[in-house]
Amino acid sequence: MDEVFKALADRSRRQLLDRLRARDGQTLRELCAGLGMTRQAVAKHLAVLEAALLVTTVRRGREKLHYLNAVPVNDIAERWIGRYQRPRLRALAEMRDTLESEMPHPAFVYVTVIRTTPERLWQALTEPDFIRRYFEDTGPESDWRPGAPVRWRMDPARPYEDWGQRVLAAEPGRLLSYGWHGYRPEMAEMFGWSEERLAELQREPVSRVTFEIEPLGEAVKLTVTHDGFGPDSEMRDSVSQGWPVIISNLKTLLETGETLPLAEG
């Protein structure tokens, strides 16, 4: 947490975070506009913020987009505020809702650090017994070879089904990417959608999720990028609420051997 406090201590860096809070996914050029700082100074401040995991970056062609990452701020809230006032997941959800805004490039990016190894994290992302625990007996299933089908289960009482998604990339211990599910009639039953609402949702493009694994000392940095959404995507709103809960559950499982009591609080 020392790096987080150091990064937040500088007014210019707080100003950069405020700008990303107002509009996420900006380039260095966009962040420099109207700040009264040189490009080099802004780049140095962003490097400090990135080292503290307060900012994460995603390449889009020749551009590097900067995104606000709420996780370190939430960790501070959890240590000194959340543990006394509200359950951990509620604190995370409220912090996320405060810090995130609509992105001009509608990707959802989430970064966290887990005390584990790349090999163990890869197991957690790909082995059925792991996935069922932190997805609460739902989620994806595959042999995780590039091109292989990804099967899904939305209800523990239902079997896994192939809805047409495929594994896009798989490099054990480093990278996993696959197509995300679209909207299905089973979901309409679960959430009470009308046929018209389901048909509207099914017109959204199918998105994808990518997990990047990087060693970080005795821990691992996990970057989750979910993209490929259309404008005003309902799916993006859904995953931006779902991934923080799922990844928090995954982190807790790897670090403690137990999952979070998601039904409580």
Q: Are 208 and 179 in contact (CB under 8 A)?
A: yes
Question: What's the number of CA atoms in the CB half-sphere (13 Å) around residue 141?
Answer: 14
Q: Could you give the residue range(s) of every CATH 1.10.10.10 domain in the chain?
A: 2-77
Would you state the pLDDT for residue 103? 41
Between 144 and 238, the higher pLDDT residue:
144
Rounded to an integer, the average pLDDT of 75-102 is: 53
Residue 78: pLDDT band with limits 50, 70, 90: low
Would you state the pLDDT for residue 70? 72
CA 254 to chain centre: 17
Does pLDDT of 123 surpass 90? yes
Question: What's the number of CA atoms in the CB half-sphere (13 Å) around residue 243?
Answer: 27
Q: What is the mean pLDDT of the chain?
A: 84
User: Percentage of residues in the chain with pLDDT exceeding 70?
Assistant: 85
Residue 177: pLDDT band with limits 50, 70, 90: very high
If one counts every other C-beta atom within 10 angstroms of the C-beta of residue 172, the result is 14
86/96 Cα distance (integer angstroms)? 15
Does pLDDT of 131 surpass 50? yes
CA 147 to chain centre: 23
97/14 Cα distance (integer angstroms)? 18
Architecture of domain 2-77: Orthogonal Bundle (1.10)
Residue owning tokens 């959430």: 191
**Main-chain phi, psi angles of 233, to 5 degrees:** -75, 125
Q: What is the pTM of this model?
A: 0.68
Q: Could you give the residue range(s) of every CATH 3.30.530.20 domain in the chain?
A: 106-256
CATH class held by domain 106-256: alpha beta
Residue 79: pLDDT band with limits 50, 70, 90: low
Residue 101: pLDDT band with limits 50, 70, 90: very low
Q: In what order do the strands lie in the sheet with 208-216?
A: 108-114, 219-227, 208-216, 175-179, 161-171, 149-153, 139-141
Q: Which amino acid is at 87?
A: P
Q: Are 178 and 168 in contact (CB under 8 A)?
A: yes
Q: Which of 28-42, 139-153, 221-235 has the highest mean pLDDT?
A: 139-153
SS3 annotation, the chain: CHHHHHHHCCHHHHHHHHHHHHCCCECHHHHHCCCCCCHHHHHHHHHHHHHCCCEEEEEECCEEEEEECCHHHHHHHHHHHHHHHCCHHHHHHHHHHHHCCCCCCCCEEEEEEECCCHHHHHHHHHCHHHHHHHCCCCEEECCCCCCCEEEEECCCCCCCEEEEEEEEEEECCCEEEEECCCCCHHHHHHHCCCHHHHHHHCCCCCCEEEEEEEEECCEEEEEEEEECCCCCCHHHHHHHHHHHHHHHHHHHHHHHCCCCCCCCC
